[in-house]
Amino acid sequence: MRLSLKEAQEITKALKFRDGLVVAVTRDSRTKDVLMVASMNRQAVLKTLTTGMMHYWSVSRRRLWLKGEVSRHYQIVQDVHVDCDGDALVFDVKQVGGACHEGYRSCFYRKVKRGELKETLKKSFKPEEVYRSSRG
């Protein structure tokens, strides 16, 4: 899914950026499994909507980043949903490789079971081989 800049700007006008950010929930377009949750600023939303590739705002690094810029584990946008308040988005994506920098397909690879965190997924890649110098 790719929009023109004009179309993307109209969409961002309808959003409510709180402290300059909206919440982005990213899920697998086929299985609907949640892959990750991150923040987006206006620039990240515009880049995502116009390129069809997920871009996020890194709060810790204070910069825009393309998911997969280091790992090549890109997220290709298939569909976008906006909540009633306009401050949260759900992106359905085609995930290339794993979404989690810890080596899992999803960042939600753990579940609370009997009062403990239990891994529910197996690693899909070795992060030490993918992220040699930085995370992405």
36-91 pLDDT per residue, tens: 999 999 999 999 999 999 999 999 999 999 999 999 999 999 999 999 999 999 99
Q: Which amino acid is at 26?
A: T
| Opening angle at CA 27, ends 21 and 104, nearest 5 | 105
- State the Cα–Cα distance between residues 63 and 40, nearest whole angstrom: 10
Number of H helices, E strands in the chain: 3, 8
Domain edges within the chain: 5-102
106-126 pLDDT per residue, tens: 999 999 999 999 999 999 999
> What single-letter DSSP state applies at residue 121?
S
Of the CATH numbers 3.10.20.810, 3.40.50.10800, 2.120.10.10, 1.10.10.10, which one belongs to the domain with range 5-102? 3.10.20.810
